[in-house]
Each structure stands twice: as C-alpha cells, then as structure tokens.
Amino acid sequence: MTTLDLTKLPDYLKHQRWFSGKAWPIKHVTVMDHAAVESGGCSFSLAVVEVIYELGSPERYLLPVHPSTEGVRDALESDECLRGLFDLIRTGGQVASASGRVQGEWIGGQDGLLALPASPEVRRLQVEQSNTSVVLGEKVILKIIRKLEAGVNPEHEVGRFLATKTSFRATPTLLGALHLEGAAGATLAVAHRFVPDATDGWKYTLDRLRQERAVGPRFQSEMRDLGTRLGELHLAFASATEEDPAFTPEPLLQEDLQRWSASIVGELGVTLADASRQNPELENRREDLIEHAKRLAQVPPSGQKIRIHGDLHLGQVLRANNQWIIFDFEGEPARSFTARREKYSALRDVAGMIRSFDYAEATVALEGGTPHERISTMRDAFVEGYRQVTRGAPFLPSDEDTFDVMLRAFELEKLLYEVRYEMQNRPDWVRIPLQALLRMEASK
C-alpha cells in the first residue's frame, strides 16, 4: 500500500458510481486497513479507506485496487481478480492485513460447489449503484460491498441464520462471505446462490396490472401466495431459540406500542407541516390521522417482536418457476446496522408490501392507464395468504381487531415516510401517498 497515492484518491472516488459522497467536498482520505491479496492469478490491494468531508460524518469504503500511474485502478475490472476474491470465500482462506486479517467463510457445503469450475465465467451486473455484483458460472452471485459500516451486517446475519438454522429456502441461499477482522472490521462481500430466469417482483406486478383490467383468479392466487411466502419467512424468523439471541422472539410490551405510536404521531406533525402547504385539505385531517396513530398505544399488547425483513416491497421479491422468492435483507439503507437489526412487529413487513401494491397501481395510472381500483383486491388476497399460514402464530396479535389496528398504524407510518421521500426526491409522485392518506381517512 505504500505505492498507493493518497492524494489522488479523492478524484478517483468521485468518478466511481458506487461512491455516495460526490456532492460533498473531501477534506482527506485515510487508509484504515489494507491487505495484499494474491489469489486466482491476480495480485491486488484490498484497502479500507475513511473519507473525511469538510462537513458531515466520515464514511468508509472498500477499495480493491492496483496502483497505477493515474493513482489507482479498480482491480475488479479484472475477471481474474474477481475470481481471486471469490476463491478466498469458497476456500475459507485468510490473508493478513495491517491490523487484522481478511477471512473467507463458506457455509454452502460441497453441494454449493458442484458444477462450478475452478475458473468460472464472470458476468457483471449493471443494475446496482452502491455495490458491485457479478454472476460466477451462472451459479453464484457475488456482491462486493463498497460502502462499509461498523457492526454486524444484517444481510450476512439473516442469510446465515436462514441457511443454517431454518428450512426456509424461498430466498437466494447464502453460500459464503468475506470479512475483515480487526479494528476496521466489516463484512466485505457476500455470495449467494444465483436464481436464473427470475423476474423482478415490481416489474412482474406492473406487467400484470397493465394487462388485466381486474385482478383475475390467477393474479389473485399469486398475491395470496406472496402473503403465504412472507408468513413462512416470519415463521422461520420466529423459530429461533435462545441459542440465537439476535433472532429469539421477545414479548411485545405496552411500552413498545406506546413508543411506536408516539413516533408515528411525531412523524405526522413533521410531515403534515410540510405537505399541508401544498395540500391544505390535509390539515383538516390532522386530528383524525393522529387518532389512527394513537389507537396503536391503546390496544392490549399481544404477540411478539421478531426479526423482520425491514424494507419489504415488490422490488425485494423475485418471481421464478411460478414461485415467489424474498431477497435483500440489508434493511433500510438510511438506518444504522443496529437499527436495522432491531426486532419489531411482523406487521411492519406486511404494511410495506401493501404500500407497494398502491405504488404499482399508481404507476400504471401515471403511464396513462386507467385505474381500476384493484388495490383492495390485491391487499385482501395478500393478507389472506399471510393469515392462513400464520394463524395461531405467537408473534401476531391474538385478536382480529388488534391485528387491524396495528396493521393500519404501520401503513400510516409507511405513508408518512413516502410523503417525505417524494417531496424531497420526486415531487410529481407525492400525490400517490397523499391520496392514500385521504383514502385511509375515508375508510375509517
């Protein structure tokens, strides 16, 4: 790493699509840890750098690089280097770093290596902005995590739990990972089984809504199956024993309901203060909406807090072989690892998916299609599938009224987040959650 020209790193970073700090002036870049990797016929440096900005919090990034006359060059442009990185994972290899070590972890067993040659073909994916993902031999998808965070990576933690402690397989199975152990410790990469010929759930649902004026029996059945799949995931999470404290269910207490309710009431105040300037009629709904949130604190506590997906929507599921597959357990990117790993009511995931149905219907309408009021049918089928497979589950409320109050409160919470997001990023879309807020009131 002594050959790495640190003065050229700011310019290098600002030209990388995965670098999120392009808008802020960089004060300096520091190498926190580094390792010299020689694997798969490729030699490169694996560096963890900390970017210090003129304003704002520092960020850490993973840089697999070669020194060059321009300063640095991305080693992952080389297929051989990508294979070398994967070899560390599938052999459980380790490389000493300046302050610790880089450690490969393989949990896929020998069957995870079947039909995968020693030098698999590399196919790069261009869909991600924040990480680098490649498909190896059309069997494994390797994601190199560019922006690093301290703490336990929830995607690795959840994937490992599902693969080793449960029978839930409706997800791309985690096969292995690469970790940096030491002062700058972090998960650097994860490898999952690749699902070929899979369709993104968002695209799949949009295509069905474009084609059908009403939710026909087939699509209704698919929505029911999606609810069933989510229920099976939650049952798997709730199956944890005391041997897995990060996943062991915990009693849902009155103070949890009060805390969540107060949080939603606070978000209502902030959100409506901004949104009412553009939509004055919202101000007339303020007290009714607050009442929706307060009802969450008034129901008798029942059920449990469990680990959940945490960022569930149609873009987080795949459709393959007429089955639904749930993936991407990173959680909400804007939250810390600690916050993403927090146990919560399972109904928060249910609410997230329901809100995604509304967005799908609204997207078709924005394209010029005619809205056909299909959301309630999709919602009912999805919830029916979820309820059928989770009936009697200890993590859910014991009565229907409490179930409905909690679900509506979490839908409201998601709606408020959507209003704030759209006002900041896509003002033309803010009408989608605003109209849903008004519909929620009308159906009280």
Instruction: Please state, for a pLDDT cut of 70, what percent of the chain lies above it.
Output: 96
Q: Under DSSP, is residue 258 helix (H, G, I), strand (E, B) or coil? A: helix
Residue 156: closest CA among 112, 196, 104: 104
Query: Which residues have C-beta within 8 Å of that of residue 15, sequence separation ≥ 6?
Result: none
Give 23-56 pLDDT, tens digit per residue: 899 999 999 999 999 976 789 999 999 999 999 8
- For residue 195, give the nearest of 168, 172, 177 by alpha carbon: 172
Q: Which two tokens stand for residue 23?
A: 């808008």
| 363-370 mean pLDDT | 80
**Predicted confidence band of residue 370 (pLDDT cuts 50, 70, 90):** low
> CATH classification of 199-442 is 3.90.1200.10, yes or no?
yes
Does position 439 have pLDDT exceeding 90, yes or no?
Answer: no
Higher pLDDT pick, 161 / 336:
161
Mean pLDDT of 57-71: 87
Domain spans of the chain, in order of start? 6-193, 199-442
Task: Kindly report the pTM of this predicted structure.
Answer: 0.93
- How far is CA 125 from each of CA 76, 128, 331, 440, rounded to the nearest angstrom? 13, 7, 21, 40
Instruction: Look over the chain and give the mean of its residue pLDDT values, rounded to a whole number.
Output: 92
In terms of Cα–Cα distance, which of 3, 146, 147 is closest to 71?
A: 3
Q: What is the pLDDT averaged over residues 176-193? A: 95
Q: How far is 234 from 225, CA to CA, in rounded Å?
A: 14
Q: Are strands 59-68 and 147-148 parallel, antiparallel or unpaired?
A: antiparallel
Is residue 360 over pLDDT 90?
A: yes
pLDDT at 67 over 80: no
- 344: DSSP letter: B
